[in-house]
Amino acid sequence: MIFGNFFHKMASPPWFYRVSGKMLPWFGGAFALLLLWGLYGGLYLAPADYQQGDSFRIIYVHVPAAWMSLFIYVAMAVCGVISLVWRIKMAEVVLISSAPIGAAFTFLALATGSLWGKPMWGTWWVWDGRLTSELILLFLYLGVIALHGAIEDRQTAARAVAILAIVGVVNVPIIHYSVEWWSTLHQGPTVTKLDKPSIHVDMLIPLLVMALAFKLYYAWGLLIRARSEVLERERNSKWVRDLLGEP
- Which residues here bind other proteins, judged by CB under 8 A? 84, 136, 139-140, 142-143, 146-147, 150-151, 155-156, 159-160, 163-164, 166-168, 170-171, 174-175, 178-179, 181-182
Contact 138, 107 (CB under 8 A): yes
Nearer to other proteins, 175 or 199 (CB): 175
CB neighbour list of residue 182: distance below 8 Å, 6 or more residues apart: 129, 132
Least gap, CB of 87 to other proteins (angstroms): 12
Nearer to other proteins, 52 or 183 (CB): 183
Contact 210, 60 (CB under 8 A): yes
Of 131, 105, 241, 108, residue with least CA distance to 185? 131
Least gap, CB of 175 to other proteins (angstroms): 5
Nearer to other proteins, 173 or 189 (CB): 173
- How many angstroms separate the CA atoms of 190 and 196, rounded? 9
Burial class (CB in 10 A: 0-12, 13-18, 19+), 156: exposed
Q: Where are the alpha helices (H) located in the chain, listed in sequence order?
A: 2-10, 13-40, 59-86, 89-121, 129-150, 154-182, 201-233, 238-244
Least gap, CB of 60 to other proteins (angstroms): 29
Q: What is the dihedral of CA 161, 66, 137, 16, to 10 degrees?
A: 0
Least gap, CB of 168 to other proteins (angstroms): 8
Nearer to other proteins, 30 or 160 (CB): 160
Least gap, CB of 195 to other proteins (angstroms): 30
CB neighbour list of residue 89: distance below 8 Å, 6 or more residues apart: 11, 13, 83, 233
Least gap, CB of 145 to other proteins (angstroms): 10
